[in-house]
């Protein structure tokens, strides 16, 4: 029923055991997201070995400093039938010493790859939403995109949705102090967002502080259903349909 749209299975030690946990918690499919060339290669391999796992390929903005600007490798990996997106790509101004021009170059070039392959792209954006949104307005991409791990306010969410993009919520939405984020969920159409674990990071309540995994997605879905005061099954099914449509799975 549930699809974890953003997990890092290249960091997972025992995928068969994980899939057993997922099945018990109604998680039936996983998108394993990449951050550099090594993880891209590994995720494509993982997706080829497990029926209900798919991959993305790409360079995270925090990985571009030591990366080759020759992105033919990403394009070739992106041709794999189990690769469903380019990502995570984008902008990150959180850490000192970031190279904005280099991040934009990789972001631009990888969006172009996603357009060439006709596959959506997954955006990592931290402390750079204005620049990312302005860039997308200028670029006007011909494919779908999603801002993963969305934690911004409603006005920012609306700007993303007005561009035709989607947003995705992590376990952060389950945290007790995430009132404003839950208000965003109430204000946007239910067909404009997806959910993810971003595992092994950002474990939701009640497992906050522990290593995260895709089976915890159920807690995020339950939180959103409660927030919207909708039946769990109906809510989960709509979010699943959003994910199926976005990733073409």
Q: In 3-state terms, what secondary structure has residue 80?
A: coil
Number of H helices, E strands in the chain: 9, 8
**Number of domain units in the chain:** 1
* 173, pLDDT greater than 90: yes
Strand ranges, E, within 117-219: 121-126, 145-147, 166-169, 193-195
The domain spanning residue 167 has which CATH number? Answer: 3.20.20.140
Mean pLDDT (the chain, rounded) = 97
pLDDT value at residue 108: 98
Domain that residue 170 falls in: 2-247
- Kindly report, residue by residue over 20-62, the tens digit of the pLDDT: 999 999 999 999 999 999 999 999 999 999 999 999 999 999 9
**Percent of the chain with pLDDT strictly greater than 90:** 98
Tell me what pLDDT residue 66 has.
86
End-to-end CA distance of the chain: 13
């Amino acid at each position: 029923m549930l699809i974890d749209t953003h997990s890092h299975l290249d960091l997972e030690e025992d995928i068969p055991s994980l899939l057993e946990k997922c099945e018990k918690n109604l998680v039936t499919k996983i998108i394993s997201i990449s951050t550099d060339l090594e993880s891209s290669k590994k995720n494509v391999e993982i997706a080829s070995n497990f029926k209900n796992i798919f991959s993305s390929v790409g360079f995270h903005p925090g990985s571009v400093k030591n990366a080759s600007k020759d992105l033919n490798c990403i394009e070739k990996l992106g041709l794999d039938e189990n690769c469903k997106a380019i990502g995570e790509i984008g902008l990150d101004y959180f850490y000192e010493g970031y190279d904005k021009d280099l991040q934009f170059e990789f972001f631009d070039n990888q969006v172009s790859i996603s357009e060439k392959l006709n596959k959506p792209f997954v955006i990592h954006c931290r402390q750079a939403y204005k620049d990312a949104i302005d860039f997308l307005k200028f670029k006007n991409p011909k494919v779908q995109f999603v801002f993963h791990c969305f934690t911004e306010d409603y006005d920012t969410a609306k700007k993303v949705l007005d561009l035709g993009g989607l947003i995705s919520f992590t376990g952060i939405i389950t945290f007790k102090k995430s009132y404003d984020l839950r208000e965003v969920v109430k204000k946007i159409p239910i067909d404009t967002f997806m959910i993810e674990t971003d595992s092994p990071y950002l474990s939701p309540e009640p497992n906050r502080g522990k290593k995260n995994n895709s089976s915890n997605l159920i807690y995020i879905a339950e939180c959103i259903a409660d927030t919207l005061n909708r039946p769990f099954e109906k809510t989960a099914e709509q979010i699943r349909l959003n994910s199926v449509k976005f990733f073409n799975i």
